[in-house]
Amino acid sequence: MSETVTNLRDTDLRDEVRAWLADNWDAQSERPRAGGSLSDWHKLVFEAGWAVPSWPEHYWGRGLDKEDTSTVIAEFAKVRAPGAGQDRLNITANSIMQFGSEELKRRMIPEFLCGATMCLLYSEPGAGSDLASVRTRADQKGDVYVVNGQKVWTSGAQHAQYGLLLARTDWDVPKHSGLSFIILPMRQPGVEVRPINQITGDSHFNEVFLDNAEAPVANRIGEEGEGWKVMQTALAVERLLMGEGGGEKRQGSFKDNSVSLIDFARDAGKLDDPVLRQQIAQAMAWRQLNALNLVRARQEMAQGSSSPIMSLGKLAMSRILHGDAAVMTKLHGAASMLDGASDERAADVNYRTANAYMTSIGGGTDQIQRNIISERVLGLPREMEADRSIPFRESRAVTG
């Protein structure tokens, strides 16, 4: 296709998206023109095909290529309208699309694209960095799994309608082979959620206790025992989200993901400090480098890959957040020891300093990301695992 034809197509698509948004979204109030809830808006976006523009039309999309999909996402972002681009960033929908049965796709993907809330039931006490050692069990009884166990560090569990559950369905095979990935309804007897108070004052994380909770067998994503493979796709999407700064969002002095360290330094009267200027330049360079890497990660995600490149972005964002917080603390000086309403900027700096650890832990710790990068990107020897090939019930995780 010639460049002229491509540009015409791009212009036509931009005009179409802009016209649709102008008819349906009030950019000034950042609300749907027709009123209604955010869920109603997501349904409208879904019905128009903008929720998953790269997916085929028979799967609620428009069959656009990655460049055109980026155009759609960019136009929605300009007017701060949510709902588009979920073919890249909706963890549940992407996992079902890649591994789910046709029945599960038809039944549940529209629900998740239209705003159904979910949480990630992965980590457990004793199975955080080594997720393959989870001991929450899902025993099939008829057409349901009966689930028993405990999860921890589950973001948003107190509000979620569903949980993406990694559970053990076979104890007599090696640990990676006995896991299944199941969509668990959260609002039922047998699911108890206990919020965890964080150093930031938030309670995003939770403990989740499962006592004979039930999930339909039809809610399993992929074949039984293939949960580890499915989870790699889910983790890749999560790491892409975190690499884009998902852990940065907060209602405070800085409401956007991007922090202008230059403006911060200018307000503090320290823009001419040569050492601080160098540190600001380094922080900005890390952000730019990460943005370029994320372009590559998104392209791989669009092709259905769960590439370890996502780990680079996630690890980079962790470094960026810690680095930005350190520079901001230096810029604010001794006043950064203050907090609360007496100094809102100090409160925001302190929040960012403490909150940076969420990105260092969520989606796999920084140390785990380094292992992934070393083994799967650089081709270095794998870390030794003595229990990798033995039946899980004989592993130290079970026998103690």
Spatial neighbors of 292 by CB under 8 A, at least 6 apart, are: none
pLDDT interval class at 96 (50, 70, 90): very high
Spatial contact of 53 and 66, defined as CB atoms under 8 Å apart: no
Q: Where in the chain is the domain with CATH 1.10.540?
A: 3-89
What CATH number should be reported for the domain whose range is 118-225? 2.40.110.10
Q: What pLDDT does residue 12 have?
A: 92
- 343-364 pLDDT, tens digit per residue, is 888 998 999 999 898 888 877 7
> From CA 253, how far away is CA 336, in angstroms rounded?
14
- Given the residues 238, 244, 300, 394, the one annotated as active site: 238
| Residue type at 138 in one-letter notation | A
Percentage of residues in the chain having pLDDT higher than 90: 60
**238 catalytic per annotation:** yes
pLDDT interval class at 255 (50, 70, 90): very low
Spatial contact of 315 and 286, defined as CB atoms under 8 Å apart: no
Question: What mean pLDDT is reported for the chain?
Answer: 88
Which ranges in the chain belong to alpha helices (H)? 3-24, 38-48, 66-78, 86-89, 91-99, 102-113, 227-243, 261-268, 274-302, 309-332, 344-361, 366-372, 396-399
Q: What residues pair up with 148 in beta bridges, in sequence order? A: 137, 211
323 has a pLDDT exceeding 50: yes
> From CA 343, how far away is CA 122, in angstroms rounded?
38
Q: Where in the chain is the domain with CATH 2.40.110.10?
A: 118-225
**144-151 vs 162-168, strand pairing mode:** unpaired
Q: Which CATH class is domain 3-89?
A: mainly alpha
DSSP 171: S
Question: Could you tell me the two tokens for 30?
Answer: 């950042």
DSSP 120: E
Average pLDDT score over residue span 97-115: 96
pLDDT interval class at 100 (50, 70, 90): very high
Dihedral of CA 93/97/99/104: which sign? positive
> From CA 201, how far away is CA 221, in angstroms rounded?
35
Lowest mean pLDDT among 47-56, 261-270, 302-311: 302-311
**206-216 vs 179-185, strand pairing mode:** unpaired
Q: Which range, 275-289, 359-373, 379-393, is most confident?
A: 275-289
> From CA 30, how far away is CA 278, in angstroms rounded?
38
Note the Cα 315 to chain centre separation in Å. Answer: 14
> From CA 365, how far away is CA 235, in angstroms rounded?
12
Q: What residues pair up with 174 in beta bridges, in sequence order? A: 391
116 has a pLDDT exceeding 50: yes
